[in-house]
């Protein structure tokens, strides 16, 4: 056996000191593409690709785009600094499942008055002036609440360290911040996903998205021109419009009181798996048994209860809080409709291996941290939200997409979520932990309760990291 490090991500300033003509991840893609059809060792293939970069690029173009082996582009990986984009635009950027993002946290960092002013407003000076005034009022309230909440938590949580108290204050004050707030992130992404991201940005109506698309293409294409081809709009959107076929019933606004009820019942069950425990156990047995799947399942049903209990103990023996559960847990799938704030969604969307479909809720209500009432700012927040709604209503129909910048972290949304039990374990480990943010912890606890009810044996170790030692 031999293991060679073919490459790794290093700082761009170090790459710039190398031979620019060969300092490209394309050669890795080209070499790995040839593994399946060559007798040569992979390290020799890499040397050949490095020696003939033009030939490597031609090979990439042929293999990826003509032959359709797009996975070859996944071997070219980029680390990107993205600075000064809105939280609103992150909705478009962070949809990619197989990409790593680390974003500036509104929970741990105090934000100054720093927000995106959409270029679309340059031709609308009156609206731009109103927009800037509204942003100023939101950030002023955020600053005020940070101070008031810090004082409040000093009195109510005297045992906490000053740093922890400040984090709690920022965690709740951030609900008043708009999605126009500037943020930054580090991104690790392969070339195949860059191409997909470029297409997504290209069809966005947001000028900020198109600006990012141009910047991203310019920077990546000069390093790896052979790996990007299908990044311009081609007419495909994957969307439907019921109104175009004469049926607009789906497009009616929900009554605010219905949305309010959803906030009381944050997690509504759409579907749960049948016989989840036996299906998971059967799947675990199937991989090393002699029977087919159906016979394995039927046999599992007949196993005595005491024997099943012994099997479950085997399943969880030695499990630590950082372990992943076996893939057999993926056969138990749950569907939920979840009501949450934009603030909570910013965390929830990190769990991208689940199927998550987001839609806006009623703009007439808000998800307010309970402590905002305790410090006497509830009425002020409600007034600010009404001001935002009035401003959004004044946005011309031609630039309706700008309304998204005016949404607050407190604005409610609804999310369809399809999660298998393996994903639920990962979610609950992180989000039901004692250090988790209060809103997503409430949702996580509700999901965990539903899972335990429907799969009592398979979900017996379902808890936050902070509780794990107590039940293991």
Residues 443 and 353 in one domain: yes
Residues 360 and 272 in one domain: yes
Pairing of β 267-271 and β 182-190 = unpaired
Report the pLDDT value the prediction gives residue 361, as an integer from 0 to 100. Answer: 61
Does residue 323 belong to any structural domain of this protein? Answer: yes
Does residue 203 belong to any structural domain of this protein? Answer: no
CA distances from 255 to 23, 243, 361, 386, 437 (A): 58, 20, 10, 17, 29
**What's the domain range around 397?**
122-178+372-401
Residues 428 and 377 in one domain: no
Most confident of 16-30, 38-52, 272-286: 272-286
Residues 162 and 68 in one domain: no
Report the pLDDT value the prediction gives residue 257, as an integer from 0 to 100. Answer: 41
**pLDDT tops 60 at residue 454:** yes
Residues 32 and 145 in one domain: no
Q: Under a CB-based contact definition with an 8 Å cutoff, are residues 295 and 326 in contact?
A: no
Question: What's the rounded mean pLDDT across residues 357-375?
Answer: 84
Does residue 205 belong to any structural domain of this protein? Answer: no
Residues 388 and 318 in one domain: no
Report the pLDDT value the prediction gives residue 362, as an integer from 0 to 100. Answer: 59
Residues 278 and 423 in one domain: yes
Q: In sequence order, what are the residues at sequence separation of 6 or more whose Cβ sits closer than 8 angstroms to the Cβ of residue 181?
A: 86, 87, 106, 111, 114, 115, 116
**pLDDT tops 60 at residue 251:** no
Residues 279 and 421 in one domain: yes
- CA-closest candidate to residue 365, choices 327, 408, 316: 408
Beta bridge partners of 77: 190
Residues 260 and 315 in one domain: yes
104 versus 251: the higher-pLDDT residue is 104
Does residue 171 belong to any structural domain of this protein? Answer: yes
- What CATH number is given to the structural domain containing 289? 3.30.1360.170
Three-state DSSP at 432 gives coil
Select from 383, 401, 419 the last residue of a domain: 401
Total domain count, the chain: 3
Does residue 186 belong to any structural domain of this protein? Answer: no
Q: Under a CB-based contact definition with an 8 Å cutoff, are residues 33 and 68 in contact?
A: no
Rounded CA separation 197/71 (Å): 16
**pLDDT tops 80 at residue 104:** yes
Rounded CA separation 95/411 (Å): 20
**pLDDT tops 80 at residue 247:** no
Select from 41, 57, 75 the last residue of a domain: 75
Report the pLDDT value the prediction gives residue 375, as an integer from 0 to 100. Answer: 96
**pTM reported for the whole predicted model:** 0.91
Does residue 59 belong to any structural domain of this protein? Answer: yes
Query: To 10 degrees, the CA torsion angle through 450, 456, 461, 463?
Result: 20
**pLDDT tops 60 at residue 244:** yes
Does residue 221 belong to any structural domain of this protein? Answer: no
Report the pLDDT value the prediction gives residue 250, as an integer from 0 to 100. Answer: 60
Among 72-81, 391-400, 449-458, which is the least confidently predicted range?
Answer: 72-81
Residues 314 and 421 in one domain: yes
Pairing of β 412-420 and β 267-271 = unpaired
Residues 258 and 323 in one domain: yes
Residues 429 and 363 in one domain: yes
**Burial of 130 per CB tally in 10 Å (0-12, 13-18, 19+):** middle
Does residue 352 belong to any structural domain of this protein? Answer: yes
Report the pLDDT value the prediction gives residue 262, as an integer from 0 to 100. Answer: 55
Question: What's the rounded mean pLDDT across residues 225-237?
Answer: 84
């Amino acid at each position: 056996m031999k293991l060679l490090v073919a490459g790794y991500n290093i700082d761009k300033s170090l790459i710039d000191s190398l031979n620019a003509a060969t300092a490209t991840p394309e050669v890795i893609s080209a070499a790995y593409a040839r593994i399946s059809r060559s007798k040569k060792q992979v390290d020799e293939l890499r040397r050949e690709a490095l020696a003939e970069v033009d030939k490597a690029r031609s090979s990439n173009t042929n293999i990826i785009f003509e032959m359709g082996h797009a996975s070859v582009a996944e071997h070219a990986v980029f680390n990107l600094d993205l600075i000064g984009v809105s939280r609103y635009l992150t909705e478009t950027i962070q949809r990619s499942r197989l990409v790593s993002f680390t974003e500036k946290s509104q929970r741990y960092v105090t934000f100054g008055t720093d927000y995106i002013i959409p270029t679309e407003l340059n031709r609308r000076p009156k609206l731009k002036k109103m927009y800037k005034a509204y942003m100023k009022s939101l950030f002023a309230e955020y600053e005020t609440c940070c101070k008031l909440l810090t004082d409040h938590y000093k009195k109510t949580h005297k045992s906490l360290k000053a740093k922890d108290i400040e984090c709690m204050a920022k965690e709740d004050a951030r609900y008043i911040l708009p999605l126009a707030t500037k943020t930054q992130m580090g991104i690790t992404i392969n070339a195949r996903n860059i191409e997909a991201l470029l297409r997504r940005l290209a069809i966005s109506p947001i000028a900020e998205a198109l600006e990012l698309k141009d910047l991203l293409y310019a920077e990546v294409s000069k390093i790896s021109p052979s790996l990007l081809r299908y990044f311009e709009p081609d007419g495909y959107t994957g969307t439907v419009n019921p109104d175009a076929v004469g049926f607009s019933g789906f497009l009616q606004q929900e009554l605010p009181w219905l949305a309010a009820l959803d906030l009381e019942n944050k997690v509504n069950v759409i579907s749960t798996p049948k016989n989840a425990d036996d299906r998971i156990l059967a799947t675990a047995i199937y991989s090393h048994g002699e029977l087919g799947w159906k016979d394995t399942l039927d046999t599992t049903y007949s196993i005595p209860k005491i024997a099943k209990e012994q099997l479950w103990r085997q399943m969880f023996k030695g499990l630590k809080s950082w372990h992943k559960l076996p893939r057999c847990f993926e056969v138990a799938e749950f569907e939920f409709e979840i009501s949450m704030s934009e603030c909570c969604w910013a965390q929830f969307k990190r769990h991208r291996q689940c199927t998550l479909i987001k839609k806006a809720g009623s703009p007439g209500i808000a998800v307010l941290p309970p402590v905002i009432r305790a410090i006497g700012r509830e009425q002020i927040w409600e007034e600010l939200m009404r001001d935002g709604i009035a401003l959004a209503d004044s946005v011309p129909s031609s630039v309706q997409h700008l309304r998204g910048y005016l949404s607050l972290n407190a604005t409610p949304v609804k999310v369809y979520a399809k999660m298998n039990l393996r994903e639920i374990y990962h979610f609950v480990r992180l989000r039901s932990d004692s250090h988790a943010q209060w809103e997503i912890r409430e949702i996580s606890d509700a999901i965990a309760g539903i899972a335990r009810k429907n799969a009592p044996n398979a979900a017996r170790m379902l808890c936050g990291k902070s509780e794990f030692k107590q039940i293991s």
